[in-house]
Amino acid sequence: MQKQLREMEAGILEKLKSVSAMEELNEIRVRFLGKKGELTGVLRGMGALSPEERPVIGQLANEVRARVESELEKRLSELKAMARNARLARENIDVTLPGTVFDTGGLHPLTTVSRQIEDIFIGLGFSVAEGPEIELDYYNFEALNLPKDHPARDMQDTFFIGPEVLLRTHTSPVQVRTMERTAPGLPVKIIAPGKVYRRDDDATHSPMFHQVEGLAIGSRITFGDLKGVLQVFARQMFGPETKTKFRPSFFPFTEPSAEVDISCGMCGGKGCRVCSHTGWLEILGCGMVHPRVLEMSGYNPEEVTGFAFGMGVERIALLKYDIDDMRLLFDNDMRFLEQF
Amino acid sequence: MRVSYKWLKDYVDVTVSPGELADRLTLSGIAVEGVHELGAGIERVFTGKILNIEPHPNADRLTVCAVTTGGPENLQIVTGATNIRAGDVVPVAVEGARLAAGLVIKKSKLRGVESRGMLCSGQELGLDPKTMPADQAHGIMILPPETPLGLDIKPVIGLDDAILELDLTPNRGDAMSMVGVAREVAALLGQKLRLPDIDVDETGDGIEGRVKIDIKDTELCRRYVAKLFTGIKVGPSPGWMQERLRAAGVRPISNIVDITNYVMMELGQPLHAFDYDTLKDGRIIVRRAGEGEVLVSLDGVERRLNGDMLVIADPGGPVAVAGVMGGLATEVTENTRNVLLESAWFNPISIRKTSRVLGLRSESSSRFEKGIDLTGCLRAARRAASLLAEMGAGQVASGAVDNYPAPHVPKTIILRPDRIEHLVGTAVDSDACREILTALEFGVQKNHQGLMVTVPGHRPDVSLEVDLIEEVARMHGYDRVPTTLPYGPTTQGARTREQSLAMKVKDTMASLGFREVITYSFTSQEVFNKVNLAPESPLRNVLALQNPLSEEHSVMRTVMLPGLLEVLRRNANRRVTSLSIFELGKVYLSRGDAPLPEEKQVLSAAAMGGTSRGWNKPSLEKDFYYMKGVLESLLAQAGISGTSFEPFKDDPSYHPGRAARLTAGEQLLGVLGEVHPDVVENYELPGRVVAMEIDFGIMASLAGKAGKYRQIPRFPGIERDLAVVVELQVPVREIIGVVKKSGGNLLRRVELFDVYQGEQVQQGFQSLAFSLTFRAEDRTLTDDEAAGLINTIRENLAKKFGAQLRS
Ligand SMILES: [Zn+2]
């Protein structure tokens, strides 16, 4: 019987070597180890053995079973690995084929730049306000200290809808509308992005363009604060190395007034085509809110002060992306827009 | 305004270079746009005399000149110039010379004749032809005959100078003069201002009885000074004066005219010279023009005047448009013997309006517009007289007529130095303030309130304390103001809910493959026809611009679609025929009598062509369902539910069978659909176009706030497919309605995954395949329960629509 067991074992182990499919392996397991399997058959015959032989054969049978089982397992995992490898080999693809195509859209560069500007000022505690594009003369001019015959009205060539109704020439009317609403409450900190209109059309002017206006009113706001806020803005917008320069200027609605230059990022201030070889780029106008403007909007200029600034979004977009013709921004040529 | 660096030195010691001066001026409020070094690059050009001119042997248009520059040897120079005569002194570029445009002069042969240099025009030396005497503008520059020979040309004609180009703000009329700029420079550099000499040797008889000035409108003319010059010899002005006028960009004309221009440039007071003998009775009447009155101006043009314009008249009629342009009949000519000189103050607003209406802007009008020094009229007239006498161009009648009904009362303003710190953020003590203001010729006295400041006549722009604070701040230096951040309670910066939604909507559109465009808010009436609007459509009720740039941009848009179609058209012309675009913009709707119109934000989108195609993915046509899917994604992103799409045949811009309106209850959110084939044709587009226009305001009002978390289902759902065949005319939405109703609240999701019409299905019918998900909140559903529900659904569909089932 020992011999029979050993032969059986040898036979099975031999067979296992040539097995190449997992089903065969299962068959062998059943034929040998199953309830009606060969090994079980052999063990059934143990009743005929002598009591001395029984434990010997029993132990041998268990050993054979263990060995066969372990060989089966080993063979099984070998076969699994072979099958997996075969599958991987079969499933080889050309990774250099292009990926699945998706339609990609995008935002207009002016939207992107506007958002950047807004986000910087939101971080500085300013809220975003809006106002009508078709405005009353009063809000666009008069309440900003530009009475009917003021020569500075010529600085902004205006589209008129009616004698008192016009397309706003700047976002400054939002200042007035905001102050009228908030007066005499403090503090006021808003920025007002939006479309504005002037009768100009060439490579550097568009009859419709975008501005962002800023206004801060408080009990202790100074020109120094204006410098500080705009310096933070310039550094965040154009990079930490950016320098700012404040030049005295004139706007009817601010006093003192200033124009702000930033150091040219293209040449680092050495002078180049973009900055007309001056090293500086003009980016915005600003100043302390004129006492008459405060007064007209319901604030007492003896008690509160404030600053205001306004910048052209197109100007900043042109600088940021080195675009040389403003008309490209409104041409909506996909070959242009796709670059953003 | 052009400022000659050399001329400026007459009035102030300039201790810095032109470049540095430009920087200092710019940083204190007089913006210098550019500094032009005259004569830069010009070398080896000398004064020379033409000794002899002979015809060129081989060329009719050339002549051969013998020229001396004072050296031992004469130069033979061939020229094409025609304005020269033997004996003229001219600029001569000798061999090796360099001219303005970088031209280098070499010995050469011209049609066989040797030429050893070149006779120069003003332009070749960098001068503007507009500033050259008319006869020399395009020919050789002729120098005064007494000019010594062999001199470097640059100092002789004023090319050893730099011009500062000023870009003045409208409030600084005072800086439109050499003395005004010198005053700023003196204050900046801590130097003394030297005013020009106005002492006049008045040798003529008195003006009394010979000139009478009558001001009828003292609002528009607050002062009129007249001086009389007699025994005038009209001729060219001296070289030094011509040189300065040239530097200032003014063409020399004659001694009398040049004096008026010179004084205007020097003092900022425009002057006008009349031929006294052409004025009736020596009388000047300053009055408003009669409506329709006519004057032939200096340039020979007949000007029709109106009652808002101020004229200078004599008893016979107008002789000049005050401050804007003189009349031809009273012009100073070479025959003029006596001159009446006007030095007056005219109302800035009136001058501005008049010059606009007449389309005439001059050096004079631009100064009057900004407001000149009321106290300076007499001084300027005397300065002109002194120059006339100095030049020996005539006699000055003694005295002046000075009609000055309401003399200037200087403004006095209190300046509190602590207000400077309060507003500017840095302290400037009262001594420093006094120093700054005094240097600018403000009168300053201390009192208990602060500084009592008297505003000088040349600064009509200063009227408030804050104006003085600006004067102090700009001269103190903006760069010396410390940079700070606002003090006070922290404020929270934010966007409104609507602004945030606008961002989200744009981002969503972009992620769905749409590119944002920005089109003009103005359009033309013509587009309404192009998009098929009915003649009586209220959308044709536009707000029109009174002064549009062009017909194409003459009315405010009331619809977004034309702008988008125009973008498609332009891109199609550039062979970009597959694209998806969107714009979140405003339309402007008249509100009848309300002062301002309604500005409605509209989310609009248009698409044509197909989706991108790849080797593993076909292109899908951008059809109605593409746009609908985009809109549905957008609504989901915005948290808007409870909307419905309904067939919509009433928008003539859209295909009647392929358009839908989107409603939420009673509210109309917008329209989407295929653009009407006529409209597509009107825009010459290459294929079908789909579009949508959604009212953003309503969308925002419906948009969900941040939703609360809902528990993730705890029990598994059961999915079953259901296919039915129904008549084509039954809208799918109704079938889904019955499915949902029959499924009750255990039916969680209905997804239509196939629509089939064709061979397998009877004509006039279609097969719809749904995937249904059933789920209960409190237990695991059994297959039997699901089967029961499916049965109910089937029965109801059969009952309602006679639907046949497919397995
Ligand atoms: Zn640069």
Does A25 reach chain B within 8 Å, measured CB to CB? no
Pairs across A and B, CB distance < 8 A: 254
| pLDDT of B761 over the 90 cut | no
Task: Please indicate whether, in this complex, the C-beta atoms of B424 and A224 are within 8 angstroms of each other.
Answer: yes
Confidence at residue A156, expressed as pLDDT on a 0 to 100 scale: 64
Helix (H, G, I), strand (E, B) or coil at B33: strand
Interface probe for B, chosen from A159, A253, A328 (most Cβ of B below 10 Å), is: A159
**Residues of chain B neighbouring A331 (CB-CB closer than 8 A):** 570
Interatomic CA distance for residues A327 and A209, integer angstroms: 10
Task: Please indicate whether, in this complex, the C-beta atoms of A247 and B485 are within 8 angstroms of each other.
Answer: no
Does B618 reach chain A within 8 Å, measured CB to CB? no
pLDDT digits (tens, 9 = 90+) for B514-527: 999 999 999 999 99
Q: How confident is the model at residue A154 (pLDDT cuts 50, 70, 90)?
A: low
Task: Please indicate whether, in this complex, the C-beta atoms of B483 and A227 are within 8 angstroms of each other.
Answer: yes
Q: How confident is the model at residue A14 (pLDDT cuts 50, 70, 90)?
A: confident
Confidence at residue A317, expressed as pLDDT on a 0 to 100 scale: 94
Closest chain B CA to residue A340:
B515
| pLDDT of B45 over the 60 cut | yes
Confidence at residue A95, expressed as pLDDT on a 0 to 100 scale: 93
pLDDT digits (tens, 9 = 90+) for A73-120: 888 898 899 889 999 999 999 999 999 999 989 999 999 999 999 999
Confidence at residue B98, expressed as pLDDT on a 0 to 100 scale: 93
What distance in Å separates residue B145's CA from the closest CA in chain A?
A: 42
Closest chain A CA to residue B32:
A247
Q: Please tell me whether B20 is known to bind a ligand.
A: no
β B325-326/B212-215 pair status: unpaired
Candidates B470, B518, B595; nearest CB to A330: B518
Candidates A123, A126, A199; nearest CB to B549: A199
**Residues of chain A neighbouring B352 (CB-CB closer than 8 A):** 149, 151, 154
Confidence at residue B705, expressed as pLDDT on a 0 to 100 scale: 63
Confidence at residue B286, expressed as pLDDT on a 0 to 100 scale: 97
Closest chain B CA to residue A290:
B466
Of A38-42, B113-117, B457-461, least confident by mean pLDDT is: A38-42
What is the mean predicted confidence (pLDDT) over B7-12? Answer: 96
Q: How confident is the model at residue B789 (pLDDT cuts 50, 70, 90)?
A: very high
**What distance in angstroms lies between residue A318's CA and the mean position of ligand 1's atoms?**
13
Does B590 reach chain A within 8 Å, measured CB to CB? no
Those of residues 377-436 in B touching chain A at CB distance below 8 A are: 422-426
**Residues of chain B neighbouring A121 (CB-CB closer than 8 A):** 493
Interatomic CA distance for residues B426 and B478, integer angstroms: 10
| pLDDT of A151 over the 80 cut | no
Interatomic CA distance for residues A94 and B274, integer angstroms: 93
Confidence at residue A275, expressed as pLDDT on a 0 to 100 scale: 87
What distance in Å separates residue B571's CA from the closest CA in chain A?
A: 6
Confidence at residue B77, expressed as pLDDT on a 0 to 100 scale: 94
**Residues of chain A neighbouring B614 (CB-CB closer than 8 A):** 98-101
**Residues of chain B neighbouring A136 (CB-CB closer than 8 A):** 595-596
Element of type H or E holding B387: helix B377-391
β B212-215/B2-4 pair status: unpaired
* C-alpha torsion sign, points B456, B459, B460, B464: negative
| pLDDT of B563 over the 70 cut | yes
- Residue of A48, A73, A52, A63 whose CA lies nearest to A8: A63
pTM here is 0.86
Confidence at residue A100, expressed as pLDDT on a 0 to 100 scale: 92
Those of residues 114-173 in B touching chain A at CB distance below 8 A are: 169-172
Those of residues 36-75 in A touching chain B at CB distance below 8 A are: none
pLDDT digits (tens, 9 = 90+) for B667-724: 999 999 999 999 999 999 999 999 999 999 999 999 986 567 778 888 999 999 999 9
**What distance in angstroms lies between residue A263's CA and the mean position of ligand 1's atoms?**
8
Residue count (chain B): 807
Interatomic CA distance for residues A192 and A209, integer angstroms: 14
Closest chain B CA to residue A154:
B170
Q: Please tell me whether B734 is known to bind a ligand.
A: no
What share of chain A in percent tops pLDDT 70? 99
Interatomic CA distance for residues A13 and B498, integer angstroms: 77
Angle among Cα B771, B773, B777 to the nearest 5 degrees reads: 175
Candidates A122, A218, A259; nearest CB to B486: A218
The pair phi, psi for residue A121, each rounded to 5°, is -75, -30
Does A288 reach chain B within 8 Å, measured CB to CB? yes
Confidence at residue A170, expressed as pLDDT on a 0 to 100 scale: 95
- Residue of B104, B44, B106, B55 whose CA lies nearest to B79: B55
What is the mean predicted confidence (pLDDT) over B634-661? Answer: 94
pLDDT digits (tens, 9 = 90+) for B324-363: 999 999 999 999 999 999 999 999 999 999 999 999 999 9
Closest chain A CA to residue B169:
A250
Candidates A124, A167, A231; nearest CB to B483: A231
What is the mean predicted confidence (pLDDT) over B139-162? Answer: 92
Task: Please indicate whether, in this complex, the C-beta atoms of B599 and A132 are within 8 angstroms of each other.
Answer: yes
Helix (H, G, I), strand (E, B) or coil at A279: coil
What distance in Å separates residue B128's CA from the closest CA in chain A?
A: 22
Phi-psi region of A108 (alpha: psi -120 to 50; beta: other; left: phi over 0): beta
Confidence at residue A155, expressed as pLDDT on a 0 to 100 scale: 61
Does A24 reach chain B within 8 Å, measured CB to CB? no
Interatomic CA distance for residues B408 and B514, integer angstroms: 66
**What distance in angstroms lies between residue A270's CA and the mean position of ligand 1's atoms?**
6
What is the mean predicted confidence (pLDDT) over A48-55? Answer: 81
Please spell the DSSP secondary structure of B663-718, one letter per residue: EETTEEEEEEEEEPHHHHHHTT-SS-EEEEEEEHHHHHHHPPPSPPP-PPPSS--E
Element of type H or E holding A265: none
- Residue of B224, B233, B227 whose CA lies nearest to B256: B233
Mean pLDDT of chain B: 93
Mean pLDDT of chain A: 91
Those of residues 201-240 in A touching chain B at CB distance below 8 A are: 201, 207-208, 216, 218-225, 227-229, 231-232
Task: Please indicate whether, in this complex, the C-beta atoms of A218 and B483 are within 8 angstroms of each other.
Answer: no
Q: How confident is the model at residue B132 (pLDDT cuts 50, 70, 90)?
A: confident
The CA–CA distances, whole Å, from B784 to B718, B720, B774, B788, B807 equal 11, 12, 12, 6, 18
**What distance in angstroms lies between residue B538's CA and the mean position of ligand 1's atoms?**
52
SS3 percent helix, strand, coil of chain A, rounded to 5, is 45, 20, 35
Q: How confident is the model at residue A187 (pLDDT cuts 50, 70, 90)?
A: very high
The pair phi, psi for residue B530, each rounded to 5°, is -65, -30
Residue A112 structure tokens: 């992107």
**Residues of chain A neighbouring B488 (CB-CB closer than 8 A):** 187, 218-221
Q: How confident is the model at residue B137 (pLDDT cuts 50, 70, 90)?
A: confident
Strand partners of residue B452:
B414, B445
Task: Please indicate whether, in this complex, the C-beta atoms of B493 and A152 are within 8 angstroms of each other.
Answer: no
Q: Tally the C-alpha atoms within 13 A of residue A340's C-alpha that lie toward its C-beta.
A: 26
Q: Which domains does chain B have, with CATH numbers?
A: 2-38+162-189 (3.30.56.10), 43-156 (2.40.50.140), 212-403 (3.50.40.10), 415-480 (3.30.56.10), 497-702 (3.30.930.10), 718-805 (3.30.70.380)
Residue B364 structure tokens: 């004079």
**Residues of chain B neighbouring A329 (CB-CB closer than 8 A):** 518
Does B348 reach chain A within 8 Å, measured CB to CB? yes
Those of residues 426-455 in B touching chain A at CB distance below 8 A are: 426
